[in-house]
Amino acid sequence: MIPLSHPDIGESEIAAVVEVLRSSRLSLGPKLDELEQAMASYLGTAHAIGVSSGTAGLHLALIALGINAGDEVILPSFTFVAAANAVLYQRATPVFVDIHPQSLNLDPAQVEKAITPKTRAILAVHTFGQPADMTALLQLAKLHNLRVIEDACEALGSEYNGRKVGGLADVGVFSFYPNKPITMGEGGVIVTNDNALAAKMRALRNQGRDTSDNWLQHSMLGYNYRLPEINCALGIEQLKRLDWIITHRESLAQRYCEFMQEICPEIELPARLANHRLSRFAFVVKLPRALSRQKIMTHLTGQGIGCRDYFPAIHTMPLYSSYLRPQNNLTVTEDISSRTLALPFFNRLTEDQIRQVCQALRNSYSKFPK
């Protein structure tokens, strides 16, 4: 079995977690402070706020930025559903716009067309670790007085024109689910350079308890979005290896590309845009339109090879179908979403396994043409 993803946990991480278990602090303790300081330092931001998940981080960012019922938030449909869910948590309206066919991120030209008097924010996703066109998006936001949230849940360590993503806009959000390059099991981090936003999100994650409140006083409606000390300890140790992990995963991607060109030349490889450092979350290829993705996936899984259709377009899901606007043509999203295939990609993937995956992929579409 070659899984789609696999967390890379070493002895130092295990020892760090055991140390917390032997302590008397399991929540809101010194490990949270240490993690937040390490993340802020790594990302070059004034503040980092640990939360229970990336989804929780997106939710708190929207609250802190004042996004409420009736407000419109522009985002891609080609992403994980959590981004749209967070918008609905605030009873705001998700406005789906099309993506660029190479970067798979928001197309700024389509974003501009979708802006209305009700638009309040742009939620820019750095898909698969590929930085979005932040220069164009931030210019649009400034012109129309909009807030910008970076969904960097798949992009810890990616750089846009020499600056790490997540700290380029009003708020950035990261996720540490087990399929990410580094993991905390579950968990997320919000980053910002705005003191007031940081203070509000810290209060919101802990049932609305502000810094001026005593233990059982709560000044605002909040949530239990706290990040446990165990998760923080795991994240601290993982972060120490992040730069090596990014470099190593890039070498794995390069081997994939070499084997794909040799074995599966018909397959379209992930784009690599200039001037950016890419922290790869996944290795996602595009199948030719003449091939049946479902048959290929069935064949691969039957051979013990993990794969997945990253990402189904959100606007095609029943909950979100009514939010699709006819004027927001999503032809690129629908085409890409119908052809993308995520292949096994994790730190301990071997060269022999990569070749095996490529050969199995070749065999699958040779055997099952559309």
Of 240, 266, 301, the last residue of a domain is 240
Q: Would you say residue 312 lies in a domain? A: yes
Please report which confidence band the pLDDT of residue 368 belongs to, taking 50, 70 and 90 as the band edges: low
Please report which confidence band the pLDDT of residue 369 belongs to, taking 50, 70 and 90 as the band edges: low
Q: Which one of the listed residues 180, 200, 295, 367 is annotated catalytic?
A: 180
Assess contact for 296 and 341: CB atoms under 8 A: yes
234 with 253, same domain: the answer is no
Give the model's pLDDT for residue 11: 97
Of 204, 222, 240, the last residue of a domain is 240
Residue the block writes with tokens 């706290």 = 226
Assess contact for 165 and 126: CB atoms under 8 A: yes
pLDDT over threshold 70, residue 157: yes
Q: What digits encode the pLDDT tens for the residues 31-40?
A: 999 999 999 9
What mean pLDDT is predicted for residues 73-99?
98
Radius of gyration of the chain (CA): 21
149 with 293, same domain: the answer is no
184 with 327, same domain: the answer is no
Give the model's pLDDT for residue 17: 98
% of residues, the chain, pLDDT over 90:
92
Smallest Cα–Cα separation from 190: which of 53, 81, 91, 30? 53
196 with 248, same domain: the answer is no
Q: Would you say residue 5 lies in a domain? A: no
Q: Would you say residue 6 lies in a domain? A: no
Please report which confidence band the pLDDT of residue 235 belongs to, taking 50, 70 and 90 as the band edges: very high
CATH of the domain at 124: 3.40.640.10
Residue the block writes with tokens 């409140």 = 213
Give the model's pLDDT for residue 276: 87
Transcribe 160-174 into DSSP letters: ETTEETTSSSSEEEE
Whether 180 is a known active-site residue: answer yes
Q: Would you say residue 196 lies in a domain? A: yes
Give the model's pLDDT for residue 224: 98
Please report which confidence band the pLDDT of residue 365 belongs to, taking 50, 70 and 90 as the band edges: confident
Whole-angstrom distance between the N-terminal and C-terminal Cα of the chain? 26
Q: Would you say residue 257 lies in a domain? A: yes
Assess contact for 95 and 58: CB atoms under 8 A: no
233 with 248, same domain: the answer is no
Q: What digits encode the pLDDT tens for the residues 287-306?
A: 999 999 999 999 999 999 99
pLDDT over threshold 90, residue 367: no
Q: What digits encode the pLDDT tens for the residues 321-337?
A: 999 888 889 999 999 99
Q: What is the pTM of this model?
A: 0.97
Transcribe 211-268 into DSSP letters: TTS-TT--SS---B---BHHHHHHHHHHHHTHHHHHHHHHHHHHHHHHHHHHH-TTSB
256 with 236, same domain: the answer is no
* Cβ neighbourhood burial of 218 (10 Å; 0-12, 13-18, 19+): middle
What mean pLDDT is predicted for residues 15-26?
96
User: What crossing angle do the helices spanning 82-89 and 54-64 adopt, rounded to 10°?
Assistant: 40
Cα 138 → chain centroid: 19
Q: What digits encode the pLDDT tens for the residues 99-145?
A: 999 999 999 999 999 999 999 999 999 999 999 999 999 999 999 99
Please report which confidence band the pLDDT of residue 209 belongs to, taking 50, 70 and 90 as the band edges: very high
130 with 185, same domain: the answer is yes
15 with 117, same domain: the answer is yes
What mean pLDDT is predicted for residues 278-295?
95
pLDDT over threshold 90, residue 7: yes
Of 240, 269, 299, the last residue of a domain is 240
198 with 248, same domain: the answer is no
Q: Whole-angstrom Cα distance, residue 245 to residue 181?
A: 7
Q: How many CB atoms lie within 10 A of CB 366?
A: 9
Give the model's pLDDT for residue 156: 98
Q: How many CB atoms lie within 10 A of CB 46?
A: 12
Q: Would you say residue 1 lies in a domain? A: no
pLDDT over threshold 90, residue 254: yes
Give the model's pLDDT for residue 154: 98
pLDDT over threshold 90, residue 5: yes
Please report which confidence band the pLDDT of residue 370 belongs to, taking 50, 70 and 90 as the band edges: low
68 with 172, same domain: the answer is yes
What are the beta bridge partners of residue 147? 121
Domain containing 336: what range? Answer: 242-367
181 with 251, same domain: the answer is no
Q: Whole-angstrom Cα distance, residue 356 to residue 260?
A: 11
pLDDT over threshold 70, residue 21: yes
Q: Would you say residue 87 lies in a domain? A: yes
Give the model's pLDDT for residue 280: 96
CATH of the domain at 249: 3.90.1150.10
Q: Would you say residue 4 lies in a domain? A: no
Q: Whole-angstrom Cα distance, residue 154 to residue 235?
A: 15
254 with 157, same domain: the answer is no
Q: How many CB atoms lie within 10 A of CB 326?
A: 5
Please report which confidence band the pLDDT of residue 170 belongs to, taking 50, 70 and 90 as the band edges: very high
Q: How many domains does the chain have?
A: 2
